Amino acid sequence: MRAAKKKSPARIYVTFAVVLIVCGFIGGIAGYATLSNEFSVRNLGQWVNQILSSPGPWWFVPGLLMLAASTWLYIRSKRLLPQAMVDDEVFPRVNLLLGQSMFLTNLSMVFIFVAMALSYAASWGVSWSILLLLIQLVWVMAMQARIVSATKQLSPEKQGNIFDFKFQHDWYQSCDEAERQQIGQCSYRAFKITSMIYPIVLAVLAILSIIDLIAPAYSLLVGLLWLVQQFVYNYTSLKLDKARS
Amino acid sequence: MPLQNRLKEFRAAQGINQQELGTLVGASRQTISLIERGDYNPSITLALRIAQVFHRPVEDVFYLTEEELS
């Protein structure tokens, strides 16, 4: 375990104060600039909306490209799979390829839903969007099922069916101490990043809702997501503390 | 601080692969591979289980270098 870099308390307090002042200053300028240029910001908002909706179903392209890359990685891993079953040197490489392939399918899933929200351009019509959405969803599910199946061949102790709603639970239960530690590290990093992003997004949305550029409901929505994240984290932490005391 | 180990050597002497060792000690093949490469320090329980498979004291299988001890 890497030792934490030691900082003097004075430095920590000064950094904290400087960050607060800088953020407050930036927020103040952004709020003032938005309010004093309300009309321009409205035009900018409309322009952004037009730009976002104009590609229509082309919004599905990034997701499709990711899926193509994921499929390519999967095919590479599949070719090496028989060798990895018997050769301990090849095993980590195949495991990594499968992990990268799964990573891309998970990213493409997010892009699919973003594309679904942005792709309803009048010139293309909704039918194209729905068709592309269905194709991509089927592709994602098929890829994930195949990747999980290949991982199970490599690690027969792994449990869970991708189409089962208890898949994550079953998979986690079949993980050993090192894998659980890895899941914990990944979750910690995701928690750390999202905890930083939520207040920033909330502040930006609050400024935009002040001038009625967006509905206050957007701030509420992000606030609720942040609340869920904080509640689940803290509640789970308390529950674990209680179980240990 | 990565723990040094002679896992690969003992495993080869015993003629078992990572998957078989993993099954014997209740760990995944990936974890055995990580331990061998020094990318993961096993818990005391797992280290003891591994040592037991090789019929060796745990400090024969896992050890710290002089530099790390000082």
Listed residue (A206, A195, A182) closest to A30, CA to CA: A206
Which pLDDT tens digit goes with each residue over A69-87?
Answer: 999 999 999 999 999 988 8
pLDDT value at residue A123: 59
With a cut of 80, say whether residue B9 has pLDDT above it: yes
Stated pTM of the model:
0.79
| Domain co-membership, A119 together with A188 | no
Listed residue (B7, B57, B47, B5) closest to B25, CA to CA: B47
| Domain co-membership, A24 together with A66 | no
Please indicate, yes or no, if residue A147 is contained in any of the structural domains.
Answer: yes
Instruction: Please give the C-alpha separations between residue B66 and each of A206, A234, B69, in angstroms, as whole numbers.
Output: 58, 42, 5
Per CB-CB distance under 8 Å, the chain A contacts of B42 are 177-178
For testing contact with chain A, the best of B28, B41, B50 (most A CBs within 10 A):
B28
Please indicate, yes or no, if residue A239 is contained in any of the structural domains.
Answer: yes
Please indicate, yes or no, if residue A4 is contained in any of the structural domains.
Answer: no
B30: containing domain: 4-69
pLDDT value at residue A121: 58
Per CB-CB distance under 8 Å, the chain B contacts of A88 are 17-18, 29, 33
Per CB-CB distance under 8 Å, the chain A contacts of B19 are 156
> Domain holding B36: CATH number?
1.10.260.40
Which pLDDT tens digit goes with each residue over A98-108?
Answer: 999 999 999 99
A96: containing domain: 55-158
Q: A1: pLDDT confidence band, cut at 50, 70 and 90?
A: very low
The answer to whether A86 contacts chain B (CB < 8 Å) is yes
| Domain co-membership, A63 together with A41 | no
| Domain co-membership, A62 together with A132 | yes
| For residues A116-135, average pLDDT | 76
